[in-house]
Structure 1
Amino acid sequence: MGKTPKLIQSIERSAVILEIIAQEGGSARLQQIAGISGIGKTTVHNILQTLDADFSHLRQFRV
């Protein structure tokens, strides 16, 4: 049988958060993201801070 690939939780969570933001028209509150995703508010905040700091240079591109 095939092995299930090991997934990186932080990347999975980041993808979920970005998907929620996209579904909400590009803007969503932390509380809203946490409620929809089931991810803790502190974790959502930390992921958003990381994405903002690490990928701010990507803002010039439209996703």
Structure 2
Amino acid sequence: MNQHICEPTSPWLFPFARSLLRWLFALVFVFAGYKHITAPDGFVAITPRWVPLPDFVVWATG
């Protein structure tokens, strides 16, 4: 009765899924950073008004 709820059914499945998701998230973040620099208008539009220099902030966080 000492089983974990998320215990993998196969010894290679959990590390594989973890690695796959890690690469997927890395690609998503790289793409978002690329879009911050190449097409910042959408990000500037959703920046709160209280943020100073929204164009620079979007560029710097990309």
Answer yes or no: same fold by TM over 0.5. Answer: no
Q: Which has the larger radius of gyration?
A: 2
- What TM-score comes out, normalization by structure 1 length? 0.31
- What TM-score comes out, normalization by structure 2 length? 0.31
